Amino acid sequence: MLRRIKPLGWLVILAIMGLFLTGISHLASGQTQTIANLPDRQTDIQLKDKLPSKYPDISLGFEMKINDDYQIRIQRPSTKSTAMNDILRDWIDSQKDSFIDKFADTSDDNKKEAPSLKISVKTEQIASDSYSFIFTREESDQHTETKVFNIDVKQERELELDDILKMDHATMKTLRKQMKDSLQDSPVSDEALDRFFNDSSAWNWTINKKAFTLYIDGDNDSSALKAPIPNEKLYLNFTDGISEIINMSAEQKQEMNDTIEAEKERIRKEEEQRKEQEKRKAEERAKQQKNSPAHNSDGKYVALTFDDGPSAEVTPRVLETLAQHDAKATFFMIGNQVEAYPEIAQQVAAAGHEIGNHTVDHADLSKLDPESIRNEIGQSADSIEQATGIRPYFVRPPYGAYNDAVINDVANQGDTLIQWSVDSLDWQSKNANAVISEIQKEIASGAIVLMHDIHPSTADALPQLLDWLESQGYQFVTVSQLLEMGGQNGVGPYYGNVK
């Protein structure tokens, strides 16, 4: 076989072997291996030999340096836009230079093994002339980082979030919910989400015809988590120009328009409902204040209030005692209790007492997000109105706990926040004599007294308590009557007078 090789063939074989040995020598000597065989620190890659790319407008170069000090492997994408290439190159160079500087003065004796830097890139198409470049930066013994550049090659600019989404409160709320749903298999803590949503300028994201994807660092040292959100979930949050940015199909455009029109109709109906509720609240205010006692600077007035009902056992006893004294009170009802005992709630309304809102299930409103606050107050008001025909406009937060979010919700609904100035502590003592003693000790004209129509001991205390209050010259009024006499109106909170 060897005899058949002609002299020219031997020359070709020797040349190939020489080139092979030269390549091995370069690797062993630690010289930088780039497509243009550039010197160390120079990163303007000449793409003479391109790595495979499925996008004809995109080229991909590879840079490698391996020596005793460190190892570097970098993929470098290139587009038809010089300006965009500069943006990509500058970021890559900054990562490379930072890595080299970190280990420039490190003694070999302190290294167990040469540190390494790997920057790889995945390219995804947004539309015909725009792409997402998703870089993964891996440094030995460090957290893997993701960096995304969304580039419109034709217009030679980076796409911004404002090009894609209306960056308002509604969008943030939607993104947070959809992100949590998307990451169910890899849950992220609320603390991590809070950090993420605190600075949208640092977000890494991609967009295409199917989904908007966010990248978020998890709670451990793993790589960034992907949270794809289907575009149909964001139709209400997209900018007007989104259909051109991602080249939506005619079907997608129609679906998005239908969703937007449906939302407009929902808002219209909600506004009509809000106006109707405001009308009913105004009528209820007028009704409650119609028989308000004439203001008398020498008069003594007290507003008795009862929380947490209605109760099948205690509320009827309270109503009976109040009727015997021709006293009107204010009942702050829990929505779940109203649904359980609607007929008792009706008895309270029929007796002419004032009804307030104490949330659906006695939740601490100060620990809830705005949506949950609205649900607690709104759903309870719905239950009360359905049972009694009265839409409550007074809100008493459970435990007296509130914050700015609660105040904002109450203000937006045209409601009023009511607290108390005298706590009977009936919830604590559950003793009739102790209840009477506590109120006697703290009572003052203009006080709002807190009791609960769920404790039998409170019903036991009420006859003697009302006798004593009357003997001291007190008249019983509702909270709305008390506020009117004091010229108080608005959101509040209102506490009543103290001794």
Catalytic residues: 307, 452
- φ and ψ of 471, to 5 deg: -65, -25
Write the burial class of residue 476 (CB in 10 Å: 0-12 exposed, 13-18 middle, 19+ buried).
buried
Question: What does R_g of the chain's alpha carbons equal in angstroms?
Answer: 36
Residue given tokens 């890899």 in the structure block: 186
- The CA-atom distances, in angstroms, between 68 and each of 31, 40, 84, 119 are 11, 14, 34, 19
Does residue 191 contact residue 216 with C-beta atoms inside 8 Å? no
CA 270 to chain centre: 23
Q: List the structure tokens of 32.
A: 């930088």
Amino acid code (one letter) for 225: L
Does residue 365 contact residue 397 with C-beta atoms inside 8 Å? yes
- Quote the crossing angle between the two packed helices 315-324 and 456-471, to the nearest 10°: 20
How far is Cα 76 from Cα 66, in angstroms, rounded to an integer? 17
Helical (H) or strand (E) element with 206? strand 204-207
Q: What is the bridge-based pairing of β-strands 211-216 and 225-230?
A: antiparallel
* DSSP tag of 156: T
Does residue 475 contact residue 299 with C-beta atoms inside 8 Å? yes
Write the burial class of residue 437 (CB in 10 Å: 0-12 exposed, 13-18 middle, 19+ buried).
middle
Indicate the length of the chain as a whole number: 499
How far is Cα 165 from Cα 200, in angstroms, rounded to an integer? 11
* DSSP tag of 216: E
Write the burial class of residue 316 (CB in 10 Å: 0-12 exposed, 13-18 middle, 19+ buried).
middle
How far is Cα 384 from Cα 336, in angstroms, rounded to an integer? 9
Task: Count CA within 13 A, CB hemisphere, residue 158.
Answer: 15
Torsional sign, CA 87, 90, 91, 93: positive
Q: E-strand spans in 57-163? A: 59-66, 71-78, 116-127, 130-139, 145-152, 157-158
* 3-class secondary structure, 89: helix
Q: List the structure tokens of 360.
A: 């659906």
